[in-house]
Amino acid sequence: MSHRTELQDTINDLVDGHRGILAADESNPTIARRFSAVEVESSEETRRAYRQMLLSTEGLEDAIAGVILYEETLRQSDDNGVPLPQLIATRGIVPGIKVDKGKGPLPGAPGDMITYGLDGLADRLQGYREQGARFAKWREVYPVSDYNPTPLGLSANAEMLARYAAQCQNEGIVPIVEPEVLIKGDHSITRSAEVHEQVWQAVFGALQRHGVVLEYMLLKPSMVTAGQDAATAPPDQVAELTLRALRRSVPLAVPSINFLSGGQAPAEATANLNALNQRRADGLWQLSFSFARALQGPALEAWHGKTENVPEAQAALALRARLSQLAMQGKYAPSMER
């Protein structure tokens, strides 16, 4: 592999034992829904102002090692004309990029989904790299029912993730592989654990078939939780079942597992990450975070699109980043919530 040094350097910068990854890569339709909830119009300028507010938060680099950006953000600049990827890179935060192009139904597998975006990926990766991106992210989603994911859903989604990851490494970009088992539904945590094992085993089988070097990738999975319409499981049970599924499915060669929050409330996601790290045995993977709403939610609610609210919004983001960092060390307590 011709890019080993670059890939290892990026892994070293992202996996340092005490920082996580901020996901700020919402597509325009997704961020429009988030803005609508706080009565902010979604335009290119409001999106730029919002992401500038996030990325310029003082001390963000203390808890955040990388930021996943949306394609639009990669070419935007702050109020002083500094490109947003450069704004974070100069502070020791690695810029990354979401590269998938959304999802749709998977033909032949009722209820399952598939993600688009492989066409032209190599050329796009080269362009993103020139703009400062050093890692990428691709998300596949898995609805849970009595019948889903189907065998076709498992294999087709794993194949997409593996093809994407192999292409990234070929271009010197570290891939984040994101297989998200959706929280929507009333399924039990036991059913969730079963699905997570099936998904992760299919994904790593495909990654190995495609020659993806596991030491030069990150896994961004969901935690094993019950469906949002079922009774909420306590953090100890989430940690126990998540770790069991990981041990059965994920090779130790993967340097870091950066969990998504996946619809959990900020305090819930943080408590679950904390329980995972309190149970984690030495020699296993780094268990970190790559939260979106669980980091951004309180900041967005404080901001409301108003310049005068920026300090309060940045303080909310800084607090959530710090609490997530403490959870990564197994040192978080609910009493730290304010």
At 159, list the tokens.
Answer: 């194949």
Q: Which of 53, 54, 47, 46 is nearest to 23 (CA)?
A: 54
Return the percentage of the chain with pLDDT > 90, whole number: 97
Would residue 220 show up in a list of annotated catalytic residues for this protein? yes
Helix ranges restricted to H, 75-172:
84-89, 121-130, 151-170
Of 98, 220, 306, 331, which is the active-site residue? 220
pLDDT value of position 338: 75
Average of pLDDT values for 98-113?
97
Average of pLDDT values for 162-173?
98
Cα-based distances in Å from 119 to 10, 32, 168, 249, 253: 25, 26, 13, 29, 29
Q: pLDDT digits over 260-319, tens only?
A: 999 899 999 999 999 999 998 777 899 999 999 999 999 999 999 999 999 999 999 999
Q: Which of 279, 280, 315 is nearest to 298 (CA)?
A: 315
Predicted model pTM: 0.97
pLDDT value of position 281: 79
Average of pLDDT values for 244-271?
96
Specify the DSSP element, H or E, that contains 249: helix 235-249
Distance of alpha carbon 61 from alpha carbon 160, whole angstroms: 32
Return the percentage of the chain with pLDDT > 70, whole number: 100
Is pLDDT above 70 for 101?
A: yes
CA angle 70, 314, 333 (to 5 degrees): 105
Domain 4-329 carries which CATH code?
A: 3.20.20.70
CA 9 and chain centroid, separation = 20
Average of pLDDT values for 180-191?
97
Residue 190 neighbours by CB distance under 10 Å: 13
β-sheet bridge partners, residue 290: 21
Average of pLDDT values for 222-241?
96
Is pLDDT above 90 for 191?
A: yes
Strand-pair category, 113-115 with 103-105: antiparallel
Distance of alpha carbon 240 from alpha carbon 262, whole angstroms: 18
pLDDT value of position 283: 76
At 127, list the tokens.
Answer: 């362009």
Distance of alpha carbon 46 from alpha carbon 306, whole angstroms: 10
Confidence of residue 54 (pLDDT cuts 50, 70, 90): very high
Average of pLDDT values for 231-252?
97
At 290, list the tokens.
Answer: 């790559």
Residue type, 203: V
Residue extents of the structural domains in the chain: 4-329
Instruction: Identify whether the C-beta of residue 272 lies closer than 8 Å to the C-beta of residue 223.
Output: yes
CA torsion, ordered 300, 305, 306, 309, to nearest 10 deg? 10
Sequence-ordered list of residues with C-beta below 8 angstroms from that of 113, at least 6 positions apart, any chain: 103, 104, 105, 106, 140, 141, 142, 143, 153, 157
pLDDT value of position 1: 66
- The mean pLDDT of the chain is 96
Instruction: Identify whether the C-beta of residue 64 lies closer than 8 Å to the C-beta of residue 22.
Output: yes
